A and B are shown apart, each in its own frame.
Chain A
C-alpha cells in the first residue's frame, strides 16, 4: 500500500506538472515553429488568408454531417465525432477530475453525472476499437497505416481503458488509477511530438485551404 501511495503521489504530483509543461511548452514550440516558417519562406500565404472563409471552412468540418464526405461515411463520422468530443471535452467534466481539481486549487465547476461519463468512456473505447478495425481491415487504410499509427491510437485509448477499469474496480483500483494518470500524461506529452499534433495544426491547414477556396477559387471546400 505504501508503495502504491508513493507512486501515486509521484504520478499525480510532479509528473502532472511535468506533463503539462511539456504539453503546453511543446505545443507553443510547434505552433511557433510553423508560424516562423511561414514568415521566413511563405509570407505570401497571408495575402490569401481570410477570417471569414477560414471560419466557414472550419465550421463545416467540425459539424457532423455538414460536409459531403461526412455524409458519405456515417459510421466513420459518428465514430470520429464521439471519439474526439469524448477525448477533448469530457476529461474536464468527469466528477473525479473536478474533485481532484477542487482539492488542489480550492475551486471547481459542475461535473457531469458519473453514469454519463462512464457511458461516454465506454463509447470512446468502442470508437478506438472501430478505428483499430478500420486500420486492420479496410485495404485503403491498411496500406497507409504505419506502426506508429497503432501506437498513437493506443496512446489515446489508454487513458479511457484504464479509467474505465479503475472506475469499475476491476482488479486493483490503485493499479489502474496509477496507470490511468500515467497514460493521460503520456498522451499529453505525445500531442506535440507525434501525429497527435494534428490537434495543433488542423486549424491552420483548414483555415488556409478554406481561405484559398473561398477567396481565390470561389468554390466550396466541403
Chain B
C-alpha cells in the first residue's frame, strides 16, 4: 500500500533563528567565516568542494529527496550548493538572512547520516560539509531554539536535559527500589570503583524514560555483572552540542564522560541504546579533544547485548512471539558496523524477524537524528513529511514491532508511523530482552 504524501509549511518561524539573525551583522559573519574556513577547516573541505562535479548521483541516497516527490532542492549536493558553495563563492560576504536560511537547511534538512557518502563516486562527505555550515551558524549565534536549549543544558549541567545532580541520583535510587520488587537483591551500584564497566545513558533516560534504567538494572543483575554508574557529571553520554556546531562544549562533554570512567577506574564503558552519543564518543568528540580513538574502551549496547547472549550470561526463557523488523541506526551501523551483531541479538530474542529493505549500511535514515528532532515542534511536520520513504519501508515489512536501538531514531519513528498511520509499535532491544529473558533471582 502506498502511503500518502504529507504537505508541510515551507516558511517555518523559529525563535532561535529569528532572534539570532536580528542580532547578526555582516562584519560578524565575515569574521566567523574567516575563522572557520580560514582557520578550522583544511584539505578535506577544499577537496570535497573542488571535486564535486554536480553529477547528482548522491540524490537517491537521501530520504528527504525520495520522500518529497524528488524535490531537487533536497538532494545532498543541493544542500551544499544552497549553503557552503555560496559562502565560499562570496568569501563570507553573505547576509544575516542567508545565514538564517543556511542554519535551517543544515540543522533541519540534513541528518548527517552519511548515506550519501556511500552513493558518491568520490566519497565526498557531505555530512562533514553540513557540519561545517552548522559550525558557522553556531558561531554567528543563529541556531534553532530547541536544540540550542539542549546545548545550553550541556554547558551548564553537563547533561542534555537540565537534570540536577540530586534528581539524577534520586531517579536511579527510585528505579533501583522499584526493581527490587521484582528481584529482591537488584542494585544500581553508584560510584563503585574498579567495577568491570561503567554504564552511561543519555539525559532523556532519567528525565522521561526511567523504565529503561529499571530494565537495564534487571538485565545486568540477572547476568551477574560487576557494573556501576557515576553519581556525578559524566553520566550523560549524549552530545547535542556536537549537532549545533558547538565543538568546544562537545569536547568538554566527552572529557566529562571519559574522565568519569577513569575516576571510577573501570575497565570499559557500556553505553545505552543511543546512536548520536556513540558518534560523539567514538568518532567526533574524542577527535576534538585529540583522542584518536576512545581513551577508555567503549561499546554500544548492541555489541554488549551480543556479548551477553553469545556468552550465555543472559538466557532466553521464551522467544518474543510478535513479528519484528529492525531499523539500522546510522551511527552504530554505518558508523560502527554493528549490523550483524544486531541481527544476532534479534534472532536470539525473537521468533519472527522480518528484514526491511534496503537494510544494514544502506538503510534509510530515521530523519530524527543529527539533531533534527531536537530542533523541536516548529519543525516536526517538516521532519515527518520529508520521511515518507521510511514509513513506507516500515509498512512494507508488515511487522508488528519496529526495533530501533537508538533514542533519536526511536522518537522519530514513533512520529512517522503515527502520522502515516502505520500499524506498528516501536521498541528498544532492551524492552524485548527484559521481557523474554530468564530472571534467576526472581521471586
Contacts and interface: CB of A to CB of B under 8 A. Distances in A.
Nearest to A206: B123
Nearest to A216: B283
Contacts of B59: 140
B23 interface: no
Nearest to B358: A68
A140 B78 contact: yes
Instruction: Tell me if A's interface is mostly helix, strand, loop or mixed.
Output: helix
B162 to A, nearest CB: 33
B79 to A, nearest CB: 11
Contacts of A149: 53-54
Interface stretch (B114-122, B243-251, B257-265, B348-356): B114-122
A135 to B, nearest CB: 8
A24 interface: no
Interface in B40-89: 41-44, 46-48, 50-57, 59-61, 65, 70, 72-73, 75, 77-78, 81
Contacts of A134: 56
Contacts of B53: 149, 152, 195, 198
Contacts, number: 131
Interface of B: 41-44, 46-48, 50-57, 59-61, 65, 70, 72-73, 75, 77-78, 81, 117-119, 121-125, 283, 287, 290, 292-293, 333-337, 339, 358, 361-362
Contacts of B42: 37-38, 40-42
A210 B339 CA distance: 18
Contact of A198 (B51, B65, B73, B333): B51
A217 B72 contact: no
A144 B43 contact: no
24 contacts: A69-B119, A76-B57, A80-B121, A138-B56, A139-B70, A140-B59, A143-B72, A143-B78, A144-B81, A145-B54, A146-B54, A195-B52, A198-B122, A201-B51, A202-B122, A204-B47, A205-B47, A205-B124, A208-B123, A209-B125, A217-B283, A217-B335, A217-B336, A219-B336
Closest 6 CB pairs of A and B: A218-B337, A209-B123, A41-B42, A143-B72, A141-B56, A144-B54
Interface string A116-154: 000000000000000000100011111111100100100
A17 interface: no
A220 interface: yes
A219 B44 contact: no
A72 interface: yes
A21 B114 CA distance: 39
Nearest to A218: B337
Contacts of A41: 41-43
A144 B75 contact: yes
A16 to B, nearest CB: 27
Contacts of B334: 217, 219
Q: Max chain A CB contacts within 10 Å: which of B43, B50, B77? A: B43
B72 to A, nearest CB: 4
A156 to B, nearest CB: 11
A209 B117 CA distance: 8
B43 A37 contact: yes
Contact of A144 (B56, B70, B118, B283): B56
A68 B118 contact: yes
Interface of A: 34-35, 37-38, 40-42, 44-45, 47-48, 57, 61, 68-69, 72-73, 76, 80, 134, 138-146, 149, 152, 195, 197-198, 201-202, 204-206, 208-210, 213, 216-222
A53 to B, nearest CB: 11
Given A41-B41, A205-B48, 7 more contacts: A34-B47, A73-B60, A141-B54, A198-B52, A209-B123, A210-B123, A218-B336
Given A76-B57, A219-B336, A140 B70 contact: yes
Contacts of B124: 205, 209
Nearest to B89: A146
A202 B118 contact: no
A218 B304 CA distance: 17
Contacts of B117: 209, 213, 221
Given A42-B43, A205-B48, A141 B337 contact: no
B132 to A, nearest CB: 13
B361 A220 contact: yes
A38 B72 contact: no
Contacts of A40: 42
Given A197-B51, A205-B123, A217-B336, A45 B78 contact: no
Contact of A42 (B44, B335, B358, B362): B44
A42 B132 CA distance: 15
Contact of B123 (A45, A57, A142, A219): A57
Contacts of A206: 122-123
B191 to A, nearest CB: 32
A142 B125 CA distance: 21
Contacts of B51: 197-198, 201-202, 205
Nearest to B287: A44
B118 A222 contact: yes
A197 B78 contact: no
A222 B116 CA distance: 10
Nearest to A211: B123
Given A69-B119, A219-B337, A140 B65 contact: yes
Contacts of B358: 68
A140 B43 contact: no
